[in-house]
Amino acid sequence: MAATPPIAARRPEALNAQGISLNDNYSWLRYKDDPAVIAYLEAENTYASAMLAHTSDLQAQLYTEMRGRIKEDDDSVPVQMGDYIYYTRTEQDKQYTIYCRKRGGLDAPEEILLDGNALAAGHAFFRMGAFKVSADHNLLAYSIDTTGAIVFTLYLKDLRSGELLDTAIPDTASVEWAADNRTLFYTIYDETHRPFKLFRHRLGNDPGSDELLHHETDDAFYLGLSSARSKRFLFFSLNSMSTSEVRYLPTDTPDNDFSMVHPRQHWMEYSVAHHGDLFYIRTNDGGALNFKLMTAPVSNPAKSNWRELLPHRSDTLIEGVDLFADYLVVYERRVGLPQIRISTPGGQNARYIAFPEPVYSAWPGQNEEFASNSVRLNYSSLVTPRSVIDYGLADGSWTVRKQDVIPSGYNPADYVSERLTATASDGSQIPLSIVYRKGLQRDGKNPTLLYGYGSYGYSSEPTFDSKRLSLLDRGFVYAIAHIRGGQELGRSWYEQGRLMHKKNTFSDFIACAEHLITLHYTQPQRIAIWGASAGGLLVTAVTNMRPDLFGAVVAKVPFTNVIAAITDPKLPLTVIEYEQWGNPHDPEAFAYMLSYSPYENLQRRAYPAILATGGLNDLQVPYWDPAKYVAKLRTLKADSKPLLLRTNMSAGHGGASGRFDYLKEIAYEYAFVLDALGVAGKD
């Protein structure tokens, strides 16, 4: 067995807040420039590799299985944009996407706009950010990240000559073109990774002289840019976790200032779309918890002119709106499932799309053309691979443009998907989606992987994942806990899982695990739990609460150190997060966060096998969060089960960027779970 990495003796630092002093013996791990920190992380990586060295053949087998389910030479479904058809493709043995177009039709010659493989050359990490073509299709604004920090450098390319124009602009977030094909608007990040400034750039100018249009000084707000599908307006949004402000600019007057729709009003959220002489406004104003849809005249969209088009409904959440020349598409959620409402722009002749399975996921695809008679959707379920659907807005036709192919073979009839309901400690009914291989016996002995997230209102969708077959074919039950903090059951589901109700997220997850045991799908210690980021907070928090229940924990880039993060406004996104977790300046909120923060609540006891992962360049959850968690737990863990830390030294929050490198990470994590639960090979 490899030697556990030593924790260098350092002077502890004290965190003082609300009259409480919290000594932190591992705060030194926050200093990335200290060679001892890098040495420690590398030692932990070496230790983790040694501890799982006996699974090397299993890792290789898992990787081969998962790669065999990828169609390596593949094309996306083409998207019509004016006279051009845009699409992406991948090639055998190449890690990254190639961006292409054809003019006039699919039989036209291919034009490669960007080759991700060429752009990634020489970089350990590569991610594409913005990809925005000008209205005349002659210019491309694109951005790339080569660190994993999700901070992008913006480039402008002349698609006629292939030359790069102007000087690259660093630290950019969102970007949009005006209609004149020479004016570009973009936002940049501050040192806390908050988009905080909006600039106007004119082609040919030095970016250093770009005009600053807005500097957001309230640290709780971040900036965004979007374009109406009609192409007539740009929208500049300012958002916090609870409040919105939107400004608009006609795309044909790029020299003008953005105009206000409605100034920010605390705890009021809204977003804006455009059609004809009207703006369509989705808002929770006036107590519309699940949102309602309003219209306002473009000539004067002040709130006093808003008129209700689609009222608030207590059982239906309005998630988004798409507008086409002759149709209004509203994305809703009811009883935990997505619904899509089709009507005229005025809301008449409404109907809903009928989906082919009782439990499924459906979400908007890429819809670029305003004058379209179809809406592009993505559709999937736990047993149905992702399908790209063109739904006829006039005739209700359902055309499958593409379904993901599993080259190594896949038969959906070999698997069973179910929707269960667990009862939470307060009586709330928690949806639970599960999938397993047909023929599985409910004898209480099946290994199970339980996934959850439950934060920011993000709903955990029951979608297909070909990688997951490597678990199902080894006898696993895979389960998704639709816990509070998401929006599966409407906005109230989210509100019941944040701020002073955050512990509902954890008790819901525990209730789901116990329900699977009650129904004899599995038993304690045969359950592995898996969560990333805020989901990493979830799995480490419930491990503190019920370590007896779980056999293995995979905490990917876990937000374990809530108190240290939320009390340091210099850390990325901290102030923005006050409305998600709580304001540490409020004694009651501070005490509540302290009561569940995983790092502060570690105890001397037996714990499950634990794998925590981090990314050295992560700005969302700094690498030191999982590193400190593991270091402290090493001094308290009263058992011999594995405790591993694996840090990607050249990536950030999302892990490896290459599609094959990412599979190696998943194979490593699956091998850890299989080993911890004593599952050796396929059944």
Active site positions, annotated:
533, 618, 653
Interatomic CA distance for residues 564 and 626, integer angstroms: 13
Helices (H), ranges, 69-211: 116-120
Please answer whether residues 565 and 483 qualify as being in contact, where contact means their C-beta atoms are separated by less than 8 angstroms.
no
Please enumerate in sequence order all residues whose Cβ is within 8 A of that of 565, keeping only pairs 6 or more positions apart, or say none: 559, 571, 574, 577, 625
Pair type for strands 79-81 and 278-283: unpaired
Q: How far apart are the first and last CA of the chain?
A: 29
Q: Which residue has the tokens 């179910």?
A: 418
Please answer whether residues 515 and 431 qualify as being in contact, where contact means their C-beta atoms are separated by less than 8 angstroms.
no
Amino acid found at 266: H
Nearest Cα neighbor of 140 from 110, 195, 109, 100 is: 100
The pair of structure tokens assigned to 273 is: 């779309």
How does DSSP classify residue 490?
Answer: -
Interatomic CA distance for residues 11 and 421, integer angstroms: 49
The pair of structure tokens assigned to 329 is: 């598409």
Please answer whether residues 194 and 150 qualify as being in contact, where contact means their C-beta atoms are separated by less than 8 angstroms.
no
Residues in the chain, total:
683
Phi (first) and psi of residue 455, to 5 degrees: -150, 160
The pair of structure tokens assigned to 667 is: 């194979």
Nearest Cα neighbor of 322 from 301, 297, 353 is: 353
Please answer whether residues 634 and 43 qualify as being in contact, where contact means their C-beta atoms are separated by less than 8 angstroms.
no
**DSSP of 592-657:** HHHHH-TTTT--SB---EEEEEEETT-SSS-THHHHHHHHHHHTTB-S-S-EEEEEETT-BTTB--
Question: At how many degrees (to 10) do helices 659-676 and 56-67 cross?
Answer: 130
Interatomic CA distance for residues 286 and 307, integer angstroms: 13
Beta-strand (E) ranges in 424-498? 429-437, 448-451, 477-481
How does DSSP classify residue 521?
Answer: S
Please answer whether residues 444 and 517 qualify as being in contact, where contact means their C-beta atoms are separated by less than 8 angstroms.
yes
Q: Which residue has the tokens 């804006």?
A: 272
Nearest Cα neighbor of 543 from 528, 523, 563, 564 is: 528
Pair type for strands 183-189 and 164-177: antiparallel
Phi (first) and psi of residue 122, to 5 degrees: 85, 0
The pair of structure tokens assigned to 191 is: 């040192």
Q: How many helices (H) and strands (E) does the chain have?
A: 12, 38
Question: At how many degrees (to 10) do helices 624-634 and 35-51 cross?
Answer: 70
Nearest Cα neighbor of 404 from 480, 470, 465 is: 465
Please answer whether residues 628 and 561 qualify as being in contact, where contact means their C-beta atoms are separated by less than 8 angstroms.
yes
